[in-house]
A and B are shown apart, each in its own frame.
Chain A
Amino acid sequence: MPNPSITLRAVSHAYGDRAVLRDLSLTLTERRVAILGGNGSGKSTLARMLNGLILPSAGTVTVDGLDTRRDGRAVRQRVGFVFQNPDVQIVYPTVEEDVGFGLKARKMPKDEIARRVTAALDRYALARYRHQPAHQLSGGEKQLLAIAGVLVLDPAHVVFDEPTTLLDLRNRRTVIQAIRDLPQHAIVVTHDLDMVMDFDRVLVLEDGRVVIDDAPSVAVPAYVARLG
């Protein structure tokens, strides 16, 4: 199996007349990639394109050789997606049931679902909340639940859309550590500059174009300088 990679070729996207991504060509192979940029720069649209939730108006996106336009479902099985607001991602009322949702959707045997759910709950310190209603968890715990619900499916890539934006300092640290510990290829859309300092690559989007593409030690100061 070749190294996991996501490739964009001449990708553009528009909502009506408003262009949000302009002729992007990228190959993402590094283990940790961050996408920075201001509001409306096209970050979230780009993130959603990486697992075929949004298809480009022009160009192609391929994940490990699979085209998001042609092989949408197979792509989504390879690319997990963690949303900014975990509340929209939690489907079932209790923690255990929600972690098992994606596995059940894939029609896995019940004992395999139980085994994987237990492992995921242990891994993200959620085992004590197993039978609790999800809406009673704190913001950080909900985000960990959302991550557990995605990671239990064992995707090759995980895309995070601003995973720490709604969190307090303690929960932010917990989620950052969880992302650091992931064995998967992770692409993180964020405004959190501290988080990306030990990443392998940082892309900065501005008006739908990549204006900086470099290691964090170069990209982050350059981004800050651009902000003025």
Chain B
Amino acid sequence: MLGLYLHRDSPIHRLGAGVKMGGLLAATLLVLALPGAVGALGAGLSGLFALWLAKLPLGRVLRELRAPVLMLGLLFGVQALVAGTGWADTLAAVARFAALILLATLVTLTTKVAAMVDLFERVFAILRPLGVNPAKLALMLALTIRFIPLLAEQVREVRMAQQARGVERSIAALFVPLLVKILRLADDLTAALDARGYDPTDDARPGTSPNDAVGPNNKEAQPPC
């Protein structure tokens, strides 16, 4: 749904991740607080202006919106039919969410993942007294974004392999090898993170050792490929 960073030399791109996320949060509160489609109209127009400022391709951004708007239309449409809420309210609700998705898409298209991760690391730091490691949470976010296309490729690969062997549609035939591949990938990724100097301990937390000797991939059960 949300696009990956698209590099341009624009004032929107140069804004800090915190400013953009804060702006998105403020816009969300405003759109939800204002009655009817007034907020949606304001957010939509602001979004289009920001889109122009950011020099992003309109067609691509609108394509990103197509699927969620369709889904929201169906959802609120069914609600209008079943619960008897008016069509005007339904349109206003869809417009609100569409405007917010436009703004969120703009944020992700104009903000590097590394900047977003830095921001989340700072925000998650407030959870440190509860034992949460903000660096781990932030890395999880980066890995999720990075591995979506890779997992999609794995699904395509497994599906093609099944089709080549005459299995057209079978959830089990897709799921089992996919799970094996994903587990293997997770294992290799752990080793790679370790090899690239990632420190799973949080330096800001007291009592963490700066010199853990045992890498997380030191498994006895499974040899590397």
What is A's interface to B at a CB cutoff of 8 Å? 14-16, 18, 20, 40, 44-45, 48, 51-55, 57, 67-74, 76-77, 80-81, 83-85, 87-94, 97, 100-102, 104-107, 130-131, 133-135, 149-150, 153, 161
Q: Which residues in window 45-67 of B have CB below 8 A to A?
A: none
Q: A15-B222, A55-B218, A90-B146 are in contact. Are A105 and B112 (CB under 8 A)?
A: no
Contacts of B194 in A (CB 8 A): 53, 76
* Contact across chains for A54 and B218 when beta carbons are under 8 A apart: yes
16 example contacts (A-B, Cβ-Cβ < 8 A) are as follows A15-B221, A40-B223, A51-B195, A54-B215, A54-B224, A55-B218, A68-B213, A74-B211, A76-B194, A81-B191, A92-B146, A102-B196, A105-B199, A107-B203, A131-B7, A134-B146
* Contact across chains for A72 and B142 when beta carbons are under 8 A apart: no
C-alpha gap A90/B199 in the complex (Å): 16
Residue of chain B at shortest CB distance from A44: B224
Interface size class of B (residues with CB under 8 A): 35 or more
Contacts of A77 in B (CB 8 A): 197
6 closest A-B pairs by CB = A131-B7, A81-B195, A88-B188, A72-B213, A44-B224, A135-B149
Contacts of B150 in A (CB 8 A): 87, 135
B145 within 8 A of A: yes
Contacts of B120 in A (CB 8 A): none
B124 within 8 A of A: no
Other A-B contacts than A55-B218, A80-B195, 18 sampled, CB-CB below 8 A, are A48-B191, A48-B217, A52-B213, A53-B194, A54-B219, A69-B214, A70-B213, A81-B191, A81-B192, A88-B192, A91-B146, A91-B198, A94-B4, A107-B203, A131-B5, A133-B149, A149-B196, A153-B196
* Contact across chains for A14 and B220 when beta carbons are under 8 A apart: yes
* Contact across chains for B199 and A93 when beta carbons are under 8 A apart: no
Residue of chain B at shortest CB distance from A86: B192
Contacts of A134 in B (CB 8 A): 146
* Contact across chains for B222 and A52 when beta carbons are under 8 A apart: no
B143 within 8 A of A: yes
Contacts of B225 in A (CB 8 A): 44, 84
Pick the contact of B196 from A45, A93, A133, A150 — CB < 8 Å?
A: A150
